[in-house]
Structure 1
């Protein structure tokens, strides 16, 4: 191996020129063009030339490098290849880390890593809720390295999810695939992705486009609203009050669940939803009928909140309710055939079939885009005061238990010439 100890501590410190500088016995100082320095040991094991890194200078001094080189050479003489030994240790360490890495942990880390790239803050809640509701009960606590196709199939077919809720199941599959791909890239698992669709799950599950559409009765017929509201108001809990408020305002459940006290003016009877929380990305003013205001007053009396506090808080202090909380209220009422979102359809059907309020007014109440771009350019207002009258009538109707043959009267718009002014409201 030649003469050893050719280098000196001072010479190592002062060396600035890029290159390899031998200390003897296979030990080299490597200097890069950028000026960084590190130690390398050249040795031969079973006829193979190997180069092993011994650490950076000055973290590893000349004396330390010589000691490490001596240890490596001793192992070689004993028939042990130091690099192979290090590789085995690293493999075992990775296996030990992977054993403690669960799917739930990987999902949380994936969401944390991508949160900043999601333009819509709702995506965080959507990812979290979907995986927690459907994936976590089956694979959440499993070691991510052990999750296979059988586990994924179990998640997707539990309670006929793939056929009954095809869109939800498809999104769930895609999100599980992304989490498992992240885990593979981070070396927590290896092999093919068991949640991949193309060339894998498409061989085991029917494609969404080929499945027979399942008829759902998600929306309550508007004529049954009064009886339903009587039962809803018997339900206890924040979820029941949030659902009641959502029905009275015809708002989306996500808008209600994310609502803060700073968005509400009880004296003026208005709730202003900021654009970043709206599906269309535009601010939306919601008139509050007396019934909806009473719901908010009862919540404020219970919580005594700060302006930025959530109106309908979840179990975790300061956090919004999950969408599943409203679904749970319906299940307790033995109305699993309904969805929270379906009550928006109930309102729309009521406005169309039981009133003479203009179609565009009902669409504005639902925060839908009205008309084409040319019409939108000329229509600057949002019919707020007219919508207030409509929402008051809707709230009153929700307090009305209809009997067969009943006729419920609401405000009519002025009759149009040539039309029958007695065109009724059911």
Structure 2
């Protein structure tokens, strides 16, 4: 009867299977079934694509599973729950966003994927993403935008690892993509820095400009204390003890997630004294109330005044000065930059932050910048 049915109606076969023909002529296989005590109907597809034999086999398997306590709908629900690559990436971004200390990094994560990956494989279900899909994203930019391509690759891999943890796939298609990519020959460019004997002149030039006082003082303190841009720009008065001559940056504001104590030289204290009154909380507030200066503001300050260097490069200037002009031990200079020195075993025993030795070093650095070479300290 099912084979010969033509008019609108329901034509039953077996195991709850029936053919439904609508008044408009549409035809569907449907199965009535009881799942965990609840009666429901399952759509099994159109006769145009699902033969009677296939529909009978599916109905039999569904009924067998339901009678043993299983749920034939579970697989369908799981399939609907699986996200596309773009949906998965946005979820990973949402989960990790609170852990990124710099909002810029959070934006870069999703923006690079939106630019390079989503147009190619954003609509692909996460379990279906292949190495070929990843290759199609990376190949066009692998040589021309090497650094960006490496970051896109790493971020795709992060999304895929999350999908593995969700149980949606067992492999990471990024792992094998290198076999299909040419070797990148471009060397990673180092941050541009000034020779240490030109840093004092840079500060003098900047000080003579009409730039905002907050911007100029922020740059000067950054140079004197050898901190990173965000650490200086987001400095707070609550972190600074001018009487003890120390600046304590909490772990959440540091790249290495470790608190960092900075001995303040007389020159650094002078900068801070001039900054009093600029902001109640932030030492160097930006133009928007309650917001710190932007990284672009500092970079613009030095670039527009003829210094083609990076803000981070001042740390290099200091490190080179310490190496070439003093005999402070290497570990003291590294501690001043909040770098880890030695291997894990050595660090387990050497727990001092060399604070007092660093105080002498920072006074020597400030003295050098003030063109007072007699203050450059040589130990021993």
TM-score by length of 2: 0.60
In structure 2, stretches of 5+ residues that fail to align are 2-9, 21-29, 60-79, 125-132, 167-172
Equivalent pair of 1:30/1:39 in contact (CA under 8 Å): yes
Give the equivalent residue in structure 2 for 1:236: 211
**Cα-Cα RMSD:** 5.2
Give the equivalent residue in structure 2 for 1:408: 373
Looking at structure 1, the residues matched to 137 and 47 of structure 2 have their Cα atoms a distance apart, in angstroms, of: 44
What is the CA-CA distance between 1:383 and the residue it aligns to?
3.7
Looking at structure 2, the residues matched to 322 and 220 of structure 1 have their Cα atoms a distance apart, in angstroms, of: 21
> Could you list the per-position Cα deviations for residues 236-291 of structure 1 after superposition, in whole angstroms to 9, with x for gaps in the alignment?
35665444322110123343345443322233321112234444543321012243
Equivalent pair of 1:27/1:41 in contact (CA under 8 Å): yes
Find out whether 1:369 has 2:340 as its counterpart: yes
Find out whether 1:267 has 2:243 as its counterpart: yes
- Of 128, 151, 173, the residue aligned with 1:171 is 151
Aligned residues: 316
Looking at structure 2, the residues matched to 220 and 253 of structure 1 have their Cα atoms a distance apart, in angstroms, of: 16
What is the CA-CA distance between 1:112 and the residue it aligns to?
0.8
Please give the residue correspondences for 1:82-93 in structure 2 after superposition, counting only pairs within 5 Å. none
Give the equivalent residue in structure 2 for 1:128: 107
Looking at structure 1, the residues matched to 342 and 362 of structure 2 have their Cα atoms a distance apart, in angstroms, of: 21
What is the CA-CA distance between 1:221 and the residue it aligns to?
0.8
Equivalent pair of 2:251/2:260 in contact (CA under 8 Å): yes
Please give the residue correspondences for 1:2-401 in structure 2 after superposition, counting only pairs within 5 Å. 28=32, 30-32=34-36, 37-40=38-41, 45=47, 48=52, 49=55, 109-115=91-97, 121-122=100-101, 125-129=104-108, 132=111, 144-145=122-123, 161-162=145-146, 166=147, 169-175=149-155, 197-200=177-180, 202=181, 206-208=182-184, 211=185, 213=187, 216=190, 218-233=192-207, 234=209, 236=211, 241-297=217-273, 299=275, 301-305=277-281, 311-312=283-284, 323=295, 326-336=298-308, 338-370=309-341, 381-400=352-371
Equivalent pair of 1:222/1:347 in contact (CA under 8 Å): yes
Give the equivalent residue in structure 1 for 2:72: none
What is the CA-CA distance between 1:227 and the residue it aligns to?
0.9
TM-score by length of 1: 0.55
In structure 1, stretches of 5+ residues that fail to align are 5-19, 53-90, 92-97, 187-192, 401-406, 417-426
Q: 1:300 to 1:382 in 2, by over 3 A?
A: same
Give the equivalent residue in structure 1 for 2:62: none
